[in-house]
Amino acid sequence: MSRLILALDVYEREDALRIAEEVRDYLWAIKVNWPLILGSGISIISELKERTGLPIIADFKVADIPNTNRLIAKKTFEAGADYLIAHGFVGRDSIKAIQEEGEVIIVVEMSHPGAKEFIQPTVDKLIELANEIKPFGIIAPATRPERVRYIREKVDKDIKILTPGVGAQGGSAVETLKAGADYIIVGRAIYKSKNPRESAKKIWEEIENGA
């Protein structure tokens, strides 16, 4: 099974469906984020699922009180999403409210420079939270393999580590997998490429040969 996830951050429905179909053979799942939902509507989730047959991860980085998290989660899973990404810093009760509706993935650290300001100092507590409530997975940054290694050592083995930041943000798929990631998330390096299928194939081969 592939370990590559496409971050499909385009606005237009037609672009999203075309790219998804072109690259689906090399993917484990497709991650949708606000740009695509705001551009094409929530129905794009079920359309992508029907066209590709792949799991859909809704990267809404939900961060609200338990009741609002639950309301958001209900609609997201009803729309066909298989996983919902949420922030852990809002606390256990908010995450548990999502888990009552479906599979959750918690952001433990982020891949951009600003992550050092607030998220990084709380990583240990977020790992503790993950080990306690057992989400499907957590998000860690491919831009910092040493942080992936640190997180892998501390987080339970059956919790998957998904890592964005490969390609456009400078991270390497092979280094990140060696550090302990389970899945690699790639956006621009695939969807902005002149030939998305070729680019996805190249990263897939790198993953297969290098990890």
Which residues are tagged catalytic?
59, 61, 64
Q: Is 59 annotated as a binding residue?
A: yes
b/e per residue, 87-102, with b = 16+ CB within 10 A? bbbbeeebbebbbebb
Interface ranges with ligand C5P (CB under 6 A): 7, 9, 33, 59, 107, 110-111, 139, 141, 164-165, 167-169, 185-189
Nearer to ligand C5P, 73 or 86 (CB): 86
- Residue identified by tokens 């709380």 is 122
Nearer to ligand C5P, 168 or 211 (CB): 168
Amino acid at 7: A
Nearer to ligand C5P, 97 or 189 (CB): 189
Q: Is 65 annotated as a binding residue?
A: yes
Q: Is 167 annotated as a binding residue?
A: yes
Nearer to ligand C5P, 59 or 101 (CB): 59
Q: Is 64 annotated as a binding residue?
A: yes
The four Cα atoms 90, 75, 31, 187 give a dihedral, to 10 degrees, of -80
CB of 190: closest distance to ligand C5P in angstroms?
Answer: 8
CB of 137: closest distance to ligand C5P in angstroms?
Answer: 12
What is the DSSP code string of 136-203? SEEE--TT-HHHHHHHHHHS-TTSEEEEE-BSTT-B-HHHHHHTT-SEEEE-HHHHTSSSHHHHHHHH
Are the beta carbons of 106 and 87 closer than 8 angstroms?
A: yes
Q: Is 139 annotated as a binding residue?
A: no
List C-alpha distances in Å: 91 to 129, 130, 164, 195: 8, 11, 23, 42
Closest CA to 48 of 105, 103, 102, 10: 10
CB of 144: closest distance to ligand C5P in angstroms?
Answer: 10
CB of 160: closest distance to ligand C5P in angstroms?
Answer: 14
Annotated binding site for substrate: 9, 31, 59-68, 111, 164-174, 187-188
Annotated binding site: 9, 31, 59-68, 111, 164-174, 187-188
